[in-house]
Amino acid sequence: LLQALYDGSTSSVRIRNDMSEEFPIRTGVRQGDVASPLLFNIVIDAIMRKAFDG
């Protein structure tokens, strides 16, 4: 479900009144997305488990 949400995401940049061409977003999460804190917690938990394992 999350992958489907992010697949095909594009963005563009506005400089003054001009918009750039759209470009694909390949990494990261959307700012303000309600899933962002959950995804962060999942990843940081895996990192901490690996760091403190053994």
- Cα separation values, 46 from 39, 41, 42, Å: 11, 9, 6
The reported pTM is 0.52
What is the predicted pLDDT for the residue at 54?
A: 60
Which residues lie closer than 8 Å to 4 by C-beta, 6 or more apart? none
Neighbours of 33 (CB within 10 A): 13
Please tell me the distance from the alpha carbon of residue 19 to that of residue 27, in angstroms, as a whole number.
Answer: 21
pLDDT tens digits along 6-30 = 888 899 999 999 999 999 988 887 7
Query: Largest Cα–Cα distance of the chain, in whole Å?
Result: 55
> What is the span of the domain harbouring residue 39?
2-52
The number of folded domains in the chain is 1
